[in-house]
Structure 1
């Protein structure tokens, strides 16, 4: 398992947290996704053999948020 923390802009409240976590958790290989509204980050634990970081970043963008 690999863990990464991504800065994400555009999260405004609990609905945004739920949306981004659900989008990430729908991917095969994601073990955990935890969004932090105050810090504007998402911490993701994933299987690097099943999923790459580019796919994670694309999923965040497709959910309507800007990863940094």
Structure 2
């Protein structure tokens, strides 16, 4: 398992946190996703053999947020 932290702009509320976490957890290979509203960060634990970083970033974008 790998862990990465991504800065994400556009998170404004608890609903945003739930939307991002749910979207990420729906991906095969994501073990844990924890969004921090105050810091605008998402920490993701994932299996690098099951999911690519590009798919993680795309999922964040498709949820309506911008990884930076």
> For this structure pair, what is the TM-score category when the shorter chain's length is used for normalisation?
over 0.9
Q: Which runs of 5+ in 1 are unaligned?
A: none
Distance (whole Å) between structure 2 residues aligned to residue 23 and residue 51 of structure 1? 14
Distance (whole Å) between structure 1 residues aligned to residue 61 and residue 35 of structure 2? 14
Distance (whole Å) between structure 2 residues aligned to residue 54 and residue 27 of structure 1? 12
When normalised by structure 2's length, the TM-score is: 0.99
Aligned residues: 68
Shift of 1:24: 0.1
When normalised by structure 1's length, the TM-score is: 0.99
Q: Which runs of 5+ in 2 are unaligned?
A: none
> CA RMSD of the aligned region, Å?
0.3
1:36-66 deviation digits (Å, cap 9, x = unpaired): 0010000000000000100000000000000
Segments of 4+ moved more than 6 angstroms: none
